Each structure stands twice: as structure tokens, then as C-alpha cells.
Amino acid sequence: MAESRMTADPTMNGQIEETTPWKDFLALIKVGIVYSNLITTFTGMWLAFYLSNMSFLGNLDIVLYTLAGSSLIIAGSCVINNYYDRDIDQLMQRTKTRPTVTGKIQPSQALWFGILLIAFGFTMLLMTTMTAVAVGFVGVFTYVFLYTMWTKRRYTINTIVGSISGAVPPLIGWTAVQSTISVEAWILFLIMFIWQIPHFLALAIKKTEEYRAADIPMLPVVHGFEITKRQIMVWIVCLMPLPFFLSELGLPIVILGTLLNIGWLICGLVGYKNNNIMKWATLMFVYSLNYLTIFFVAVVVFTLFKIG
């Protein structure tokens, strides 16, 4: 990660968009990713309390350490991703205004800030369990090294590799409460892992030309839309059996998860032969966002009154 990596000319494509330091900070840490992973971390932790009959309110210190620690290591990993990808981010419309591209934040500042965030995050997780620290390390290592620095620019499996790190937060939440990982926790991991692949492949279809310009070997860039569409549908089918392993949480959760899976599959089949591939990809992408939010929030709500 040499400092001489190519950076964007801050004057390219006209003037730099006016931003505040706070907006630059939120862009640097990819606050949307931090927020979404905060939801899944909380859900994993919540279920650990629920299934072990532990008091949630009686362990608020663990709750705060877990949420703070997981958020910090995720934010730090995203900052390092921005640092490393600043040469290709300038070539994509949705990333060319990031502060590491425009020069509002210097590369060395971003790198050290990311490292500090990760260090503080692990310090927080150390206040919970060593298992949570180990799981968090797997997430950081996978995202920073296996995804950002290795597979993203080389292989179409970058989406699968990146999905491993994105599926880790529920396990961080769970292991911060319980050192052993139950079937339910692994199912949340699998739901997150599998969900990300059709989610990001749909996004890749929408942004194919941007990825092509940046020479990132996303599946639709290398193998085309038809193969990408088939893979999206196959991964959605793989989600189908998973809710049935959550019967311990109650029938409503099994039913909801099944209905969400069927709904996603129907959305995919209805527009599968549509010639407007971008419209289909947008539908699949938007559905995936709602799927994640509805399911993980519902898991908490359905068990809300069962935790002491």
C-alpha cells in the first residue's frame, strides 16, 4: 500500500462538490454499511440473550461494548478500503466524490485513521469475549486483505469473498454474549452471506459500465448479464430452507422468512425475461434492501417481550 498509488486530480471533472467535514467523515467510514451492519450485530446479540434466558437490560455494558466495538472495526475497515481503492474510485460515478479521491482527506491520514478505528474497536470487543474478538478479526481480515487487496481486482468471486465479511456481524453480536455459536447464530450468518450475493450482483448489473471503466472483474463485466441473472436466482433459491432452522424463535419468524424468500423469487421470475435488464436489476436490488431490514427488525420485534 505504497503512498505513491495514483490519486485523482482534485480539479478533474470541474469543481469539487461542496461538503462539510462531517459529511466527508460519513463518506469515509461508509456510514450506510456501518448502520446496516449495526442492525445485524444487534439482532445476533439480542437472540443470544433471548435463547440463553439472560437479561438484556441487566447487561447493557455488554450491549454498548459490542455495538461500539463492531461499528468501529467495520468503519475502520471501510476507511482502509477507501484508502486502497482511491485510484479506481475516481473512475466510478458513485465513488468519485469520496474524500480520499477528491483530496479532502490525505491518503496517509485515511490509512492511520482506519487503523486507529479498528484498534479502538477491538479494545471495545475485548470487554466482551475473546470469541467476539476472534470473529471480528475474521471479518476485518477478510474484508481488508482477502477482498479489498486480493480478489476485488482479480476474480469474479470477489462478491462471494466480500460476503463472508458482511455476514460476520451477527456472529460478533452473538459471541459477545455466548462464547459458543448456536445453530440459530450460524443461520443468521448464512442468511447474511447468501443475501449479499444477489444483492451485490444486482448492483453490479446496474453499475456494469462503471465497473468496466475501473477494470473491476464483476460477474456481469466478465461473463455478461444472462449468467449473472441465473446466479442471482440460484442464490435466492439457496435462501429458501434457512428460515425453517429458526423454529426455536417461533413460527411467525419462519413464516416471515419464507414469505420474503418466495417474494424475492417471484420478483425475479416475473421480470426474468424482460428485455429491460436495468429495470429488473433495480427491482431485485430494492427488494433486497427491504428484505434485510424487514427480516432482522422483525426477529427482534417478535422476541421483544420474551427477554427479561
* Per-residue pLDDT tens over the stretch 88-105: 999 888 888 899 999 999
Residue 21 Cα to chain centre, angstroms: 24
pLDDT class for 108, splitting at 50, 70, 90?
A: very high
Q: Phi and psi (nearest 5°) for 30?
A: 55, 65
53: left (phi over 0), alpha (psi -120 to 50) or beta: left
Burial of 270 (0-12, 13-18, 19+ CB in 10 A): exposed
Using the structure block, give the residue that is written with the C-alpha cell 485523482.
8
- Residue 99 C-alpha cell reads as 474524500
Burial of 258 (0-12, 13-18, 19+ CB in 10 A): middle
Mean pLDDT on 20-38: 92
DSSP designation for 151: I
Mean pLDDT on 42-55: 94
Q: Could you tell me which of 168, 252, 159 has the C-alpha nearest to residue 197?
A: 159
pLDDT for the residue 304:
85
Question: Residue 60: helix, strand or coil by DSSP?
Answer: helix
Contact 300, 42 (CB under 8 A): yes
Per-residue pLDDT reduced to its tens digit, 114-126: 999 999 999 999 9
pLDDT class for 308, splitting at 50, 70, 90?
A: very low
Per-residue pLDDT reduced to its tens digit, 228-264: 999 999 999 999 999 999 999 999 999 999 999 999 9
- How many Å is the Cα radius of gyration of the chain? 20
Amino acid at 209: E
Beta-carbon contacts of residue 235 (< 8 Å; ≥ 6 apart): 194, 197, 198, 201
- Residue 227 C-alpha cell reads as 449468467
Q: Rounded CA gap, 274 and 3, in Å?
A: 46
Query: Looking only at Cα atoms, what is the longest distance across the chain?
Result: 59
CATH classification code of 21-306:
1.10.357.140
Percent of the chain with pLDDT over 70: 93
Decide if pLDDT at 307 tops 80: no
Decide if pLDDT at 2 tops 80: no
Q: Angle CA(59)–CA(39)–CA(81) in degrees, nearest 5?
A: 115
What is the dihedral sign for C-alpha 218, 220, 224, 229? positive
pLDDT for the residue 16:
57
Mean pLDDT on 18-44: 92
Of the two residues 7 and 18, the one the predictor is more confident about is 18
Per-residue pLDDT reduced to its tens digit, 160-200: 999 999 999 999 999 999 989 999 999 999 999 999 999 99
pLDDT for the residue 306:
57
Cα dihedral 237, 240, 245, 247 in deg (nearest 10): 170
Amino acid at 57: L
Domain boundaries, the chain: 21-306
Amino acid at 208: T
Q: Rounded CA gap, 168 and 129, in Å?
A: 15
Residue 195 Cα to chain centre, angstroms: 10
